[in-house]
Amino acid sequence: MWAPPNRQTDADREYLRNLFPLFKNLPNEENFQFPLAVDPDYVPPINTFYCFMSGAVLISLATGTVSLRLWVRSRGVFGTDDWVMLAAFLFYCALNVVNVTAVFGSGLGYHLYDNSMKDIYAFLVLEFLHVIFLFCTLHLCRCSIIHLFLRLAHLQSPTQQRYLYFVNTLSYLFMIGCVLFEVFDCGVPVAHNSFRLQSQFDGTCVGARSMLAYGLLIAGHIILDALTIFPPLVVLVRLPLAPGKKFNLIFLLILGVFTMVSSAIRLYVFYRIMLESFDLTWHATGVAFWGILESSLAAIIVSLPALNQVMIKFFKGVRERTTGGPNSTITGRGMSIFERHQFFRGAGKFLSFSAGGSAKLTVSGGGTIAPPDNTYVELGDFKSERQTKTASTVVEQSQPSPLSPPDIMQRTANDLEPDITRTFFLTDDLEQQREDGDSAGSMRNVQRPERTYTRRPSSPTISRS
């Protein structure tokens, strides 16, 4: 069973008793007895177990997501948004170190009257650092998102760019203001006033006993999040982006609403409960939990756009393993459906088709016919030139057959696909093998024709003038 790190002494009880007049909602203030002093079998209760377990899961997810994002970006273009996210991640790691230390090395999660002054002092120091690192993590995550939008500046109007620069600058300034307020909340010297328990109750620390100060800070944070989320939604809908990328950015912004909700819950529910009670160390657990939740969500949400391609490849691989093969455009032999080569029944004939997919069939006796759709055999891997020397196949390489149609499709110079004509001469020997015996057994012995590419001169580029 967990217990406070340091045993409570009579001097600690006397110090706490002198502060009873400042405590709110202390039960039976005049006749209050310290449980550890009157009951030798008393075990101090603790409420940090749920916070520690759920926080471990959130921290693991956020750390893995951000690390993967930084690794992916380091292999490509590491932009300003990535450097800002790296700084936010360092503050996030520092925040979690502080949280773990508070759970095991301070009075967090125990009733104030069960703690020693050493544990209370450690709690106040760690709470001080927790607030600073939390502010830096949240504001830098927002700035990273804005820097990501600024990478799309070439798709935006000057007014939209100026708006993003304004919100970004305001976010940096507001972050600095929040940190300065927390540092000098209890006045100077900082170490003397900020880490004394009495300063938390006698009004020395402005934000410790008032919702106004921290309420304004959190309200400003929520407003900046709203300025970052909602106006860009309208802009993203109109940007000429790929549908997948546009959907991801919109989904990212919508997820940011959850951080706004968690900020409001953390302040206006759990922080209010802590202010209305003397038991700082007990009620601080709920505030810390929602701080971990908010910072972890922010880190994960900001890292999702960089992992778009990774997630697409992952889910595509899962789908291929589930369905037993690639998705429709690739054949079982690893060939694109646009690269198929076919054999047809009949007399000796030429099969000629271009890269565009048009095909004409010329019979040796003359005439041109369209190949049937239901009589073809799909070829697999082609053998090398040495292996195909014995094949009874004549490949026409330079000029098309005089009997082949003159109207084979050609590509102009401004087309993306190369102009390639493939021509095969299929002899009667192959047709005889196909007709004799079992088709599956005979086709295993068929020598595959060599695939030869012949570039034909392109047509001149068509001018619209």
> What is the CATH number for 37?
1.20.1070
Amino acid at site 391? A
Question: Which residue stretches of 324-465 are H helix?
Answer: 428-435, 439-443
Three-class secondary structure of residue 83 per DSSP = helix
Closest CA to 283 of 56, 32, 53, 25: 25
Which pLDDT does position 401 carry in this prediction? 45
Reduced to 3 states (helix: H, G, I; strand: E, B; else coil), residue 349 is: strand
405 and 366, same domain (yes or no): yes
pLDDT value, residue 117: 93
Contacting residues for 390 by C-beta, under 8 A, at least 6 apart: 447
Do 273 and 404 sit in the same domain of this protein? no
- Could you tell me if 312 and 389 lie in one domain? no
Q: Are residues 88 and 218 in the same domain?
A: yes
Residue 234 belongs to a domain: yes
Residue 321 covered by a domain:
no
In this structure, are 284 and 389 located in the same domain?
Answer: no
Question: For residue 324, is it within any domain?
Answer: no
Q: Do 104 and 19 sit in the same domain of this protein?
A: yes
Backbone conformation region of residue 113, classed left if phi is above 0, alpha if psi is from -120 to 50, else beta: alpha
Rounded distance between C-alpha atoms, residue 411 and residue 338, angstroms: 16
In a domain? residue 120: yes
Name the pairing type of β-strands 393-394 and 368-369: unpaired
Q: Which residues make Cβ contacts (< 8 Å) with residue 332, sequence separation at least 6?
A: 325
Picking from 274, 301, 316, the residue at the C-terminal end of a domain is 316
User: Which H or E run contains 99?
Assistant: helix 80-105
pLDDT at 411: 40
Tell whether 311 and 430 lie within a shared domain: no
3-state secondary structure of 326: coil
Amino acid (one-letter) located at 419: D
- Of the three residues 316, 331, 363, the one that is the final residue of a domain is 316
Amino acid at position 285, single letter: T
| φ, ψ (nearest 5 deg) of residue 371 | -70, 140
Residue 356 near residue 417 (C-beta atoms within 8 A): yes
Q: Please name which of 198, 311, 206 lies closest in space to residue 248, comparing C-alpha atoms.
A: 311
Burial of 282 (C-beta count, 10 Å sphere; 0-12/13-18/19+): buried
Q: How many structural domains does the chain have?
A: 2
What does each C-alpha distance from 262 to 144, 255, 371 come to in angstroms? 20, 12, 66
SS3 197: coil
Residue 406, preceding bond cis, omega within 30 degrees? no
CB count in 10 Å sphere of residue 102:
25
Domain-located, residue 4: no
- Asked if 68 and 303 count as a contact pair (C-beta separation under 8 A), the reply is yes
Interatomic CA distance for residues 403 and 369, integer angstroms? 12
From the CB of residue 99, how many other CB atoms can be counted at a distance below 10 Å? 25
What CA–CA distance (Å, rounded) separates 433 from 170?
79
Rounded to two decimals, what is the model's pTM? 0.66
Q: Is 407 exposed, middle or buried (0-12, 13-18, 19+ CB in 10 A)?
A: exposed
Distance CA 149, CA 160 (A): 10
> Could you give the maximum distance between any two Cα atoms of the chain, in Å?
118
CB of 205 within 8 A of CB of 127? Answer: no
What is the predicted pLDDT for the residue at 93? Answer: 96
Locate all alpha helices (DSSP H) within 350-402, ordered by sequence: none
State the 10-residue block means of pLDDT for the chain, 465 residues long: 84 91 80 88 90 92 93 86 94 95 92 93 93 94 90 80 92 94 84 84 79 86 89 76 74 81 84 84 90 92 79 69 56 35 42 47 49 42 43 42 43 40 44 50 49 44 38
Q: Which of 316, 334, 366 is at the close of a domain?
A: 316
Angle between helices 80-105 and 117-150 (to 10 degrees): 160
What is the rounded distance in angstroms from the CA atom of residue 9 to the CA atom of residue 441?
A: 92
Phi, psi of 354, deg, nearest 5: -100, 175
Say if 130 falls within a structural domain. Answer: yes
Residues 128 and 250 in one domain: yes
Q: Does 335 map to a domain?
A: no
Rounded to 5 degrees, φ, ψ at 179 are: -65, -45
Give a yes or no: residue 465 inside a domain: no
Are 307 and 352 within one domain? no
The pair of structure tokens assigned to 333 is 């032999």
Residue 409 three-state SS = coil
User: Are residue 115 and residue 57 in the same domain, yes or no?
Assistant: yes
In this prediction, residue 436 carries a pLDDT of 54
Domain around 102: 10-316
Contact 70, 88 (CB under 8 A): no
Contact 289, 244 (CB under 8 A): no
The residue among 116, 120, 125 whose CA lies nearest residue 11 is 116
> Do 86 and 131 sit in the same domain of this protein?
yes
Tokens coding 314:
């992952």
Is residue 20 located within the same domain as residue 161?
yes
